[in-house]
Chains A and B, each alone.
Chain A
Amino acid sequence: MSILTDPDMSEIIDDFCVESETIYNQLEDLLGEYEENNDKAKLEEFGQTIDRVMGAAKSVDADLTGMYCELGKTISYKASQSMDKALLTVVIAVLFDTVEILQIMNKNINSDKEEKVSGINLEVFGSRLRWLADKFKNIRRSSVSVDNESVLEDQKSIDDLLASLGL
């Protein structure tokens, strides 16, 4: 059974929805602030902020939410290092759409325990995000960390590294 639909986890899911909604509002504010003064630090802050939802979403089986957050984080971090003004305009528009979709999904998780948005093909929108992330493929840094090193995203990668370090 998915955690989203597990009655024993309903309190945690309710809290997740409330907490996520607050963060989505912060994300909207950050995009608005970027539009006002083109301060790329706001895009980096967007990445750090959406990262907070990402881990929790994956932990409660809100996989689409987790995937959108992950792609939004990658795009915003990489865009914060880009000088391409035309592409940045597209990025901001897509990130606004992403946050709006996340907000609708969040409401539906809260009411129906389901990640859905009527009238939007979420897989297609996900492909659009991947396409955009790919536009920044020459920019390596995509995480909260500052070094341009390989990113370890699964338990085995980290366990292998820890073993090689004697842990």
Chain B
Amino acid sequence: MAFDPTQKILIVDDMSTMRKIIKNMLSKMGCTDLHEADDGKPAWEMIQSAHESDQPFQFIVSDWNMPVMTGLDLLKNLKESEHFKKLPFLMITAEAEQANVIIAVKAGVSNFIVKPFSIVTLKEKIDKVFH
């Protein structure tokens, strides 16, 4: 499945600055259907609600470290659900401990990207996710 820029994408980060940076990069890549959540918990609710209204998200770009629900917990919720277990999930982190990267891979993360990153790196990672 190739990446389609018209896909419905959810950007999850507790820093509004990061959400705007990612949104800016994705917009430059031609993406138009971009949505934001400021924590894993509202993201989980938005994903469920979008599914129920038959307009599901097709790609999640999420930070790891968030105060209420982490990116890892959001990923685990998704992978435990029959509806969302195949939803591509790109994890963003400032740093990660090796053991936790392995946990995320086992949980089904599609790929990782490390802050700070360029639009080129983001595009490469998205291409890998949808390869």
Contact = CB atoms under 8 A, between A and B. Distances in A.
Interface string A46-75: 001001111110111100001000000000
A139 interface: no
Given A143-B95, A147-B97, A152-B96, A56 B15 contact: yes
Instruction: Find the residue from A19, A158, A165 having the highest chain B CB count within 10 A.
Output: A158
Contacts of B20: 11-12, 15
Q: Is the interface of B mostly helix, strand, loop or mixed?
A: mixed
Instruction: Find the residue from B20, B97, B100, B113 having the highest chain A CB count within 10 A.
Output: B97
Nearest to A166: B105
8 contacts: A15-B16, A19-B16, A59-B115, A147-B97, A149-B100, A154-B114, A155-B114, A165-B102
Q: Which 9 A-B pairs give the minimum distances between C-beta atoms?
A: A55-B115, A55-B94, A145-B97, A58-B116, A16-B17, A149-B99, A59-B116, A56-B17, A147-B99
Given A58-B94, A60-B21, 18 more contacts: A19-B15, A52-B14, A52-B65, A56-B17, A56-B18, A61-B116, A66-B116, A144-B64, A147-B97, A147-B99, A149-B99, A151-B98, A155-B113, A158-B93, A158-B112, A159-B112, A162-B112, A167-B105
